[in-house]
Amino acid sequence: MLTEHAGKITSIVGRQLEVKTVVVHDLNKQRSVDLTGVKVSNDPFEIINDSEIQMMVEVMGTIDQAKDYIEAALRAGKHVVTANKDLIALHGPSLVALAREKGCDLFYEASVAGGIPILRTIVNSFAADRIVEVKGIVNGTTNFIMTQMNQNGLDYATALAQAQEKGFAEADPTNDVEGIDAAYKMVILTQFAFGMDIKLADIYVEGISKVHAADIAEAKRLGYQIKLLGRAKLIDGSIDVTVAPVLVPQTQPLANVANENNAVFVTGAAVGETMFYGPGAGELPTANSVLSDIITVSKNINMGTTGTRFNEYQTPIQKATDDQVVDPYYLALEVADRPGQMLKLTEIMTENQASFNLLTQTELPDQRARIMLVTHEMSRQQLKRIKVALQEVADLEIKAAYKVLN
């Protein structure tokens, strides 16, 4: 892209960008990019110690190693662009502080939602509004897997292997499928939207690895798609952040976001609901976001305005309590003794002031049945109590408890 769009980039930046050194892991690997005239090395200090180089781009992944290299580059006075959400979510504040101290830029647009320019949009276009909710599909791999399972009948392992082949998944896809990658992105989105430095441990995280084909089918029958959704919501001045499988109504645009695409809804008190859609993973979409950062830094160097934070908004906000977070839920239970279990279920729901508006069941072998119900709105605290009480019931197993988007 730097070569093909060189003329446009030069006219926007006012200078010609030159790649001096590329650092890789395996010097013998065949590359599809023409690196004629570029120094190729496996030593990051070839960049960090080169006084001619003004900017370092980190797209190697990892946490500790990348952190060491970025810190060294910032200490050497180099501006940094990174796509590393793991690192920014876990160590963003200290890296941002170091960059500021050194008068350097640190940009990371590609770290959230791949090719969608969502961080820059929040910083620039929502600067005057009060954001009340950010929710969406922020992991391409899991959305690709769920789409392939749903629409093409692929099994989980085959769909994951395809996501890896296409370059959407992380080097170790555990973080993708267990919701950690989406949670890292929600940490960054929460920081940008609400000015709040939330920790990974403050987020309820559940991935897709345990989503059952029976729940996908039942959700579909009821008019929903199960999607891995991240949500950061302002509730009475407090923030709640979650990443989990959610039943999305077919009529909601998020239900139709397929494959590696991502979509982020940003709701502002003034503007209302806005939706940003595009490829959330993949080589060129990610490269476009990285290049938009490179161009921003280059312009800042030109104008002598480096050293300001990507996001300047900071404000102290509390985490919401389980009592404050209210949603309808989908519950799937496996039972043996049906009439007895149904009675118990109804009792437990009533004792916890909860009710359901829909209940279905399917027969399973050995006299067992799978009961699926959609509740009316209840707090996360109520749900927790109901789950604890149901766990005490003999011959009853909770198979799923997912939020329903309304």
Ligand X SMILES: N[C@@H](CC=O)C(=O)O
Ligand Y SMILES: NC(=O)C1=CN([C@@H]2O[C@H](COP(=O)(O)OP(=O)(O)OC[C@H]3O[C@@H](n4cnc5c(N)ncnc54)[C@H](OP(=O)(O)O)[C@@H]3O)[C@@H](O)[C@H]2O)C=CC1
Find, among 52, 47, 49, 50, the residue nearest to 22 by Cα: 47
Judged by CB under 6 A, does residue 356 bind ligand Y? no
Count residues binding ligand X (CB under 6 A). Answer: 11
- Catalytic residue annotation: 185
**Pairing mode, strands 272-279 and 261-268:** antiparallel
Nearer to ligand X, 82 or 139 (CB): 139
Q: Which of 58, 71, 109, 176 binds ligand X (CB under 6 A)?
A: 176
Judged by CB under 6 A, does residue 243 bind ligand X? no
Q: Minimal distance in Å, beta carbon 64 to ligand Y?
A: 11
Nearer to ligand Y, 84 or 311 (CB): 84
Q: Which of residues 321-350 bind ligand Y (CB under 6 A)?
A: none
Secondary element (H or E) of residue 256: none
The one-character DSSP state at 321 is P
Q: Which does 171 bind (CB under 5 to 8 A by kind): ligand Y, ligand X, none?
A: ligand Y
**Pairing mode, strands 326-327 and 356-363:** unpaired
**Interior angle at CA 230, CA 325 and CA 93, nearest 5:** 100
399 by DSSP, 3-state: which?
strand
For residue 132, give both structure tokens. 């009340």
Q: Which does 141 bind (CB under 5 to 8 A by kind): ligand X, ligand Y, none?
A: ligand X
E strand residue ranges, 219-328: 224-235, 238-249, 261-268, 272-279, 318-319, 326-327
Q: Minimal distance in Å, beta carbon 299 to ligand X?
A: 25
**Pairing mode, strands 396-404 and 329-335:** antiparallel
Nearer to ligand X, 145 or 393 (CB): 145
Judged by CB under 6 A, does residue 178 bind ligand X? no
Q: Which of 11, 25, 34, 366 binds ligand Y (CB under 6 A)?
A: 25
How many Cβ atoms are within 10 Å of 50's Cβ, its own excluded? 15
Judged by CB under 6 A, does residue 162 bind ligand X? no
E strand residue ranges, 302-383: 318-319, 326-327, 329-335, 356-363, 369-375, 378-379
For residue 316, give both structure tokens. 């102290």
Q: Which does 295 bind (CB under 5 to 8 A by kind): ligand Y, ligand X, none?
A: none
For residue 49, give both structure tokens. 């110690």
Q: Which does 139 bind (CB under 5 to 8 A by kind): ligand X, ligand Y, none?
A: ligand X
* Rounded CA separation 113/120 (Å): 12
Nearer to ligand X, 168 or 402 (CB): 168
Mask: binding to ligand Y, 255-284, rule CB under 6 A, as x and -?
--------------------------xx--
Contact residues: ligand X, CB under 6 A:
114, 139-141, 168-170, 176, 181, 280-281
User: Per the annotation, where are the binding residues?
Assistant: 85, 170
